[in-house]
Structure 1
């Protein structure tokens, strides 16, 4: 057998070994990545309006007076690593259907001392993504994102309570703002680190000899947000995120006749009670002098 045949056989063996290794990695990833079932106990109570079957892309959120306060469109995936172990990968994805929207704010009465979310997205009756938004005379700012969920059937190992909450990291949202009358858009995937709130910041490690913090991140994509609409009935001028500027992603064309999913006003007092004090320490603090949780 000449050298060329030996080299050829050796190369084929390498290709086979590489394919076997790749398949084993795929199988391992499938084992550790968990998609959560939809039948969870509600985090909060209250009837809300479900998105219709034709699946409109715009979420329209009225306040308690029926005034449309916020327009939003987004896709969201939350990844949690219990005890910081990235091999135990729990993924929670916001579904395309059966997404409910609500608010605990009055659109035109949003005091600076308020720590209530202006936009609450709920799905599977147990997962909530809360957006805390403020404004001044010239612009609005997304100050905080909080993810709350029920842990009764979530594979996180040892947990301290049924309700777990994570909040966005300090200064992570400093660029999520726009002038009043304009909307922020970012079609590119935008990863945001999440940290546990005070009551859930540390969990008991599996070896019971040390305390280890859970880790998580939120990935937003196709994200558009405009609060405090006033007399507007649709998105205004856009403020484009730097990721879209770099990748040159363009605004999608919208059909002006698109059906709008209208959420209902919902007084989510239980969420405010559980998270109010912890969130107060972060929501209104800006980039300079922003507190850390610990």
Structure 2
């Protein structure tokens, strides 16, 4: 189960909580250390957790594999990883009963995420230029400007 919410301005929706319930009686969990128990995994409760922010009226779509790490509050040392493949979600149907325009996730292999290298380099160059200018002017004033004794002036 996915719990959705909107940003305070209402321009985006996001998933803030994921709940996965599974029974360890299933065949896939035959070697599980808690037999006969139903486990409820969820995102951490302290969560400042925002998954898949998407503009309202659009559907979040991702064609690559996504993974979400979940934990069981009853057994803190037990975690689960939820793998999502070909994932598409839109919690608020906008003006119709079908999905809205796709808001496709960025693929890190194709550089979909924004690189912070260029702003860092430009900022560093600007800081170096300002520091050089102040240092150069200080050296110039120290050696070239005639010192005036203000206490002898009348």
TM-score tier (shorter):
0.5 to 0.7
Tell me what 2:63 maps to: 187
Distance in 1, matches of 2:50 and 2:99, equals 21
Q: Is the 8 A contact 1:146 1:166 kept in 2?
A: yes
Q: 1:234 to 1:245 in 2, by over 3 A?
A: farther
Tell me what 1:131 maps to: 2
Q: 1:172 to 1:216 in 2, by over 3 A?
A: farther
Q: Deviations over 1:124-156 (max 9, x none)?
A: xxxxxx111112422211111111011234324
Tell me what 2:92 maps to: 228
Distance in 1, matches of 2:84 and 2:75, equals 23
Q: Is the 8 A contact 2:13 2:53 kept in 1?
A: yes
Q: 1:164 to 1:228 in 2, by over 3 A?
A: same
Aligned to 2:74, the other structure's residue is in SS state helix
Larger Rg: 2
Structure 2, unaligned runs of 5 or more: 113-154
Structure 1, unaligned runs of 5 or more: 1-129, 202-212, 249-294
TM-score relative to the length of structure 2: 0.57
Answer yes or no: is 1:146 the counterpart of 2:22: no
Tell me what 2:37 maps to: 162
Q: Is the 8 A contact 1:186 1:244 kept in 2?
A: no
Distance in 2, matches of 1:149 and 1:132, equals 18
Q: Where in structure 2 are the equivalents of 1:61-80 lying within 5 Å?
A: none
Distance in 2, matches of 1:183 and 1:168, equals 22
Q: How many residues align?
A: 107
Q: Deviations over 1:152-190 (max 9, x none)?
A: 343244328621011135769634121211111111011
Answer yes or no: is 1:174 the counterpart of 2:38: no
Distance in 2, matches of 1:227 and 1:156, equals 36
Higher relative contact order (CA 8 A, sep 6+): 1
Distance in 2, matches of 1:187 and 1:225, equals 12
Q: 1:247 to 1:187 in 2, by over 3 A?
A: farther
Q: Is the 8 A contact 1:181 1:236 kept in 2?
A: yes
TM-score relative to the length of structure 1: 0.32
Aligned to 1:200, the other structure's residue is in SS state coil
